[in-house]
Amino acid sequence: MHTRILHHLLLLLIIFLLPDNKMKTTVALVIPTIVSSAPPPPFTMRRLDHIVLRCADTQTMLNFYISVLGAQPTTLANGDSSIGRMGGCLSHLSIGTSLIDLQSYDNAPIGRKLHAGGAGLAEDEALPTLDSENGTLDHFAINVEPYDPEVVRAYLTEKGFPPFSEGERYGADGNGYSIYLRDPERNVVELKCGSPS
């Protein structure tokens, strides 16, 4: 009982020290309390499924992730290569049980349709910036146990984060149902159904 109470009261302190060991900044973060009467989410997270990086030069990125870091191209269920899909604007690389997807906007209009997990960009909308200082993340996907899309959609909407796109998508376990939403800072999060365990 005491351990449970302490766990809920735990404060995480992040301390940045100056060279003279004086405290520069302290930030206190509180672990959110889970209300025991609240129902749990209608899905179970397993692992990171994939991330999608926007690329200014896809070939250079392929060379880096394959030749330098050791990522592997995969073969799709239909026998096609995972490199250069959809007119050359999407490539999937395996990193263990997860994927890194490299996305290019060079092959418009197909690249525009892939933006933010298929939400797409309007023809008159500017392409996303490729910020060399802050990175080029398009979205990330959390691999979850198979779920009922209607139940998850209602749950997310009730919590104030209504999905903006959904449907069958390719991920680390192959094709599966995905629901896309934005977190409080507008990052795109994909809840990707993995294959049954």
What one-character-per-residue DSSP string does 106-117 give? TTTTHHHHHHHH
User: In which residue are the tokens 């766990």 written?
Assistant: 7
115 burial (CB, 10 Å; 0-12 / 13-18 / 19+) is buried
Q: How far apart are CA 158 and CA 2, in angstroms?
A: 33
Cβ atoms of residues 179 and 85 within 8 Å: no
Instruction: Count CA atoms closer than 13 A to 95's CA, side-chain side.
Output: 20
Q: pLDDT digit string (tens) for 50-109?
A: 888 878 788 888 887 888 778 899 888 899 999 988 778 889 999 888 998 888 866 554
Q: pLDDT digit string (tens) for 94-106?
A: 988 899 888 886 6
Q: How far apart are CA 56 and CA 38, in angstroms?
A: 45
pLDDT at residue number 133:
56
Residue ranges and CATH numbers for the domains of the chain are 45-193 (3.10.180.10)
Cross-strand pairs, 91: 102
Handedness of CA 63, 65, 68, 70 (dihedral sign): negative
Handedness of CA 114, 152, 193, 181 (dihedral sign): positive
Q: pLDDT digit string (tens) for 168-192?
A: 988 888 889 999 988 766 778 888 8
pLDDT at residue number 138:
75
Please name which of 52, 18, 42 lies closest in space to residue 141, comparing C-alpha atoms: 52
